[in-house]
Amino acid sequence: MIIYHNPRCRKSRETLEIIRSKGVEPFWTEYLKEPLSVDQLKEIIEKLGINPSQLLRKGEAIYKEEFKGKELSEEEWIYAMAEYPELMERPVVMKGKKAILGRPPENVNELL
């Protein structure tokens, strides 16, 4: 199990706590410090079963400053998230061929 984690995010911390409360210690990475590659983002998006634009944090300053009102293709959104990792919604948890978005944190129970 892998969690793409931001320790400053309450939802991310809550998701990690749920996982640990079930006796699982996931591999975790702080994706803001170690940005994901385009290929990693594509894998996550495929496992989530969503479009790249559905993984965006539209409330982030970088979104408002650089992207608000712009029409990007789904492929271009992936490249934008690779360049600006704070655009990616969090947390994302992957296990095998499945992934969930920890909003709400209880979604992680689907993987446990």
| Catalytic residue IDs | 9
Residues 38, 80: contact at Cβ < 8 Å? Answer: no
For the chain, the straight-line distance linking the first and the last C-alpha, in angstroms and rounded, comes to 9
Q: Is 39 exposed, middle or buried (0-12, 13-18, 19+ CB in 10 A)?
A: exposed
- Can you point out the beta strands (E) in the chain? 2-5, 27-30, 92-95, 98-101
